[in-house]
């Protein structure tokens, strides 16, 4: 058990220190407030009308964040390993969540409660900076998705997804098609047909990136 906890902390430490180098004393303070959780495939992590009180870090698995509108699932985000996540509207406002979080496959998570995080930030300036930078990434990701959805053409949505979403290749490799389709505002059937027809776009963009690298 101790070796697993240390391994998980090392994964988180590497992730955070890529954002900003953190002094050991601050890192140790962070580790003291962390808790562990596991979720089975299909298990609800957060349901509507529940309050979001955590910021979490996904160690293993995949998590689906979505709304249900008129009986239709509307994907807002898909969390890959080594990503942070929360239902930020509920977390920030203190109101019940309208978003659902669900484990796509079995998941392991590290998390901290809001009250503990707020106390930590008062005494750990470097972690406070990391916290702000991670929130910037959240807003950047939402802006990228908003820009993708501005395109009416499904071809352009797919192309922009591959060009602008830094984790597009990982999403395509790991995430069920129906969730990516919902994320891009397409039906699963349309997305499947479209991916077969336009799969060459992915290779083309990767080639373009290698040329300009």
Q: How many CA atoms lie within 13 A of 68 on its CB side?
A: 7
3-state secondary structure of 186: coil
Measured distance CA(86)–CA(177) in Å, rounded:
23
Length, in residues, of the chain = 213
The CATH code of the domain at 2-150 is 2.60.120.10
Measured distance CA(48)–CA(30) in Å, rounded:
29
Per-residue model confidence (pLDDT) at position 129:
97
Per-residue model confidence (pLDDT) at position 2:
56
Per-residue model confidence (pLDDT) at position 199:
57
Per-residue model confidence (pLDDT) at position 169:
87
Could you state, in chain order, the average pLDDT of each consecutive group of 10 residues for the chain (213 residues)?
76 96 97 97 96 97 95 94 95 95 98 97 97 93 88 82 89 91 84 67 43 39
Per-residue model confidence (pLDDT) at position 3:
60
Q: Contact at 8 Å (CB) between 65 and 71? A: no
Residues 147, 52, 61, 14: what is their CA dihedral angle, to the nearest 10 degrees? Answer: 80
């Amino acid at each position: 058990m101790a070796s697993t906890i240390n391994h998980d902390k090392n994964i988180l430490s590497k992730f955070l220190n890529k954002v900003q180098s953190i002094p050991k004393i601050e890192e140790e303070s962070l580790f003291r407030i962390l808790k562990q959780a596991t979720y089975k495939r299909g298990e609800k992590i957060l349901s509507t009308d529940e309050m979001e009180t955590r910021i979490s870090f996904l160690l293993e698995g995949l998590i689906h964040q979505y709304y249900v509108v008129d009986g239709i699932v509307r994907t807002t985000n898909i969390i890959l390993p080594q990503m942070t996540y929360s239902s930020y509207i509920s977390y920030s406002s203190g109101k019940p969540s309208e978003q659902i979080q669900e484990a796509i496959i079995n998941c392991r998570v590290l998390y901290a409660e809001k009250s503990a995080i707020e106390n930590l930030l008062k005494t750990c300036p470097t972690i406070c900076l990391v916290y702000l930078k991670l929130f910037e990434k959240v807003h950047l990701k939402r802006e990228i998705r908003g820009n993708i959805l501005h395109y009416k053409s499904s071809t352009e949505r797919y192309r922009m997804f591959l060009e602008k979403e830094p984790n597009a290749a990982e999403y395509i490799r790991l995430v069920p098609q129906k969730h990516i389709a919902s994320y891009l505002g397409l039906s699963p059937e349309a997305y499947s047909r479209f991916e077969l027809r336009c799969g060459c776009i992915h290779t083309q963009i990767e080639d373009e990136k290698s040329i300009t690298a």
